[in-house]
Amino acid sequence: MSGGTAAFEKRPDPLYKERRHSMDSMVRPQFFTLKNDRLELRLTNVGAAMTRLRFTAEDGRTSDLIAGLEKPEDYLHNVDFLGALVGRWANRIAPAEFIWDGETVRLAADADGIHLHGGPDTLSLALWETEAQDDTSIRFTILSPDGASGYPGNARFTVTYTLDGRRIIAELGAESDKKTPVNLTLHPYWNLEGAPVNVRGHILHLAAASYTLVDVEDLLTGRRYDCKNNTGRGFFKPRPLGDHPYDTNFVLSPSEEPYQACISSPASGLCLKISCTQPCMQLYTADGLSTVGRDGIFWPPHSAFCLEPQYMINAVNLPGETVPFAAPGKPYRERIVYELQG
């Protein structure tokens, strides 16, 4: 997901100079592998990230479907958020402050005055602990201290990945000793053709009748644009991604299907369905991607797509929008399910 346009107060922010997650000297970056007869998912404890996904189709073909880096240590510098869990707050908060129970909370701001993906203490670059693992499931956990990137509360975050047939189930959670906003997502970069080729031919159906944009004015107002008839940027009816660059938040609608997004590749015959408990989903067509990944493979712009379940961008600053949170006695819980077919 790309950055925003400069328009907010630009202030020197000491919080952006260093990451302040304490890293246990006994914890080292490493890979973990889950496997069943259809899926092989590799993860790392850096950012609780999905680093490789191999899917075996009905005809026996095996495809690598997400972009990843070569070594677990590489994820300590994962500037593209490849496969990572993103938080404490996914996407943008603009300006980088908000009123919370009557108090002003000032977050770490980037050079454009925007807070993106949890700031310098993002969970995406931190070392997580591994609590439990078997052949098809793993649970990661991390403690984010009070004041990390400016957020209130000592908060413990968890994510459990489970393979179930052709499905990857991700259960996201948080508990905090103070009321604090939480908006977690996962950020895998997909290509259903199994290679870093242009994704313009992928066909997307997204159960969303409106969308919001990430330019400055729209971040401040939360203005929604209708797309139920595939007007504007809509995918309410299936159509190819095409060449238009997307970094767009779609507001999900009630769906008659058991999923909110379905995307397929006519070239490979593979299909990905995504269901989630969050009310929005960000579509990013990786126009800022330019990285050398696993096996020395170069991933150029528009060679992958991200579909990131989330809450409304900048919800903490938009009256009337639902703001998810964790508080004493009230944990945060969300669920994302990826299902592959082909």
What residues act catalytically?
187, 308
- Phi, psi angles (nearest 5°) of residue 51: -110, -20
Pair type for strands 62-64 and 97-100: unpaired
Number of Cβ within 10 Å of residue 28's Cβ equals 12
The residue to which tokens 């990137």 are assigned: 149
Q: Is 237 exposed, middle or buried (0-12, 13-18, 19+ CB in 10 A)?
A: exposed
Rounded to whole angstroms, the Cα distance separating 91 from 116 reads 5
The residue to which tokens 């996962």 are assigned: 186
Two structure tokens written together for 78: 């994962």
Residue 342 half-sphere exposure toward CB, CA atoms < 13 A? 27
Give strand pairing partners of 247: 284
Rounded to whole angstroms, the Cα distance separating 57 from 61 reads 5
Eight-class DSSP state of 312: P
Eight-class DSSP state of 98: E
Two structure tokens written together for 240: 């190819």
Could you tell me how far CA 192 lies from the centroid of its own chain? Answer: 18
In single-letter form, the type of residue at position 226 comes to D
Could you tell me how far CA 271 lies from the centroid of its own chain? Answer: 19
Q: Is 4 exposed, middle or buried (0-12, 13-18, 19+ CB in 10 A)?
A: buried
